[in-house]
Amino acid sequence: MEKDLKELYHIKRSAGFRSDFESFRSLLSYQARLEMLDKTGALSPSPSLVNLRTRAKADAHRRHSFPDHVDPDFLQRAIRKAQEALKGPKPPKPFVPSLEQLRLAQRARDEEIEERLRPKRKPLPTSLPPEDEAEVDAFFRKRGVVSKIAREQVSHEDISRLRPCQWLNDEIINFYGQLILTRAEESKENPPVNGSRKPLNAHYFSTFFWSKLKGQGYQKARLSKWTKKIDIFSKDVILIPVNHNNAHWTAAAINFRKKRIESYDSMGMERGQVFKLLRQYLDEEHRDKKKKPFDFTGWQDYILPDTPQQENGYDCGVFTCQFLEALSRGEEDFAFTQDNMPYLRRKMVWEIGHAKLRDDP
């Protein structure tokens, strides 16, 4: 089996996979587990997950660890699939017209103009400034409550989840969501600094919103009370972290500006129920607050074709937080990849420790 695993790893490397063998092993184990859960229907959160915080403390190992073995049948299927992909027909060479050089020169000029009008984003750094790196290390050494904001707080046990190879928990994700929400509320009165783009008028629902919606439904979960003081229909975007059966984090958004229900998954799995349940929520919330059905004319279910993908079995929570943060600024795509995860984990520690989001990348 180890021989087969290494064979598949080398095939994937030749197709562009960049991470090391141990990361690949964790990714494959993760894919096998998600496939098993998907086949059994277990990826749908159950009513027993109403209180994820209590469940996580009682059964913490399930939320943060996975089996390190892969079913031989799954591995053989993966090898065959990878081999077939490599043997597939190569795309035909493009037709080269006689005036190709002129066309390329024109394209170069167009790209230069485009770059001046809409400069490409600079690549993310690999580390924080030295003084900030030292503060991150200090936050990791701190004991007890590390930081508070509004009703959210994180302890040293929670912050340790941002060390390498760790799953994020509800406390980290909800604290980060509160940072996003606080920035959005403050930006209504304060102009952006350092030439940064003004955040959208965003609202964040905690990780418990999805479990209640999926497990109990709008009426039984009394979700109408979540918005007694908030008109979600006046917002630009509603941001929602989604936990799938304590096995995977994804991000969802109700984008009122674009008329879209959006789902962002760093594993690229099918998430039809996300669209279905959020459409139901929108309609029931509109009937409750506006006393009439929601008008879905022009609305679409949206998945970004080039959503960044993880290459291991533990970074989905970091991807989810970064999806939500970028969406809160109105970004249409994402500047980060798997390569940026070590930097982003430490950046998140700094932000949580200081209870504010950084304005720099």
For the annotated catalytic residues, the residue numbers are 248, 265, 316
Do residues 251 and 320 lie in contact, with contact meaning Cβ atoms separated by under 8 Å?
yes
∠ CA 343-349-119, rounded to 5°: 45
Do residues 185 and 328 lie in contact, with contact meaning Cβ atoms separated by under 8 Å?
no
Give the list of residues 6+ apart from residue 267 with CB closer than 8 angstroms, or none.
30, 31, 34, 248, 250, 309, 310, 316
Give the list of residues 6+ apart from residue 160 with CB closer than 8 angstroms, or none.
140, 166
**d(C-alpha 352, C-alpha 330), whole Å:** 22
**d(C-alpha 353, C-alpha 288), whole Å:** 39
Beta strands in 52-168 (DSSP E): 145-149, 152-155
- What one-letter code names the amino acid at 24? F
Q: What is the DSSP letter of 330?
A: T
Do residues 331 and 302 lie in contact, with contact meaning Cβ atoms separated by under 8 Å?
no
Quick one: angle between helices 130-141 and 341-354, nearest 10?
70
Instruction: Kindly report the length of the chain.
Output: 361
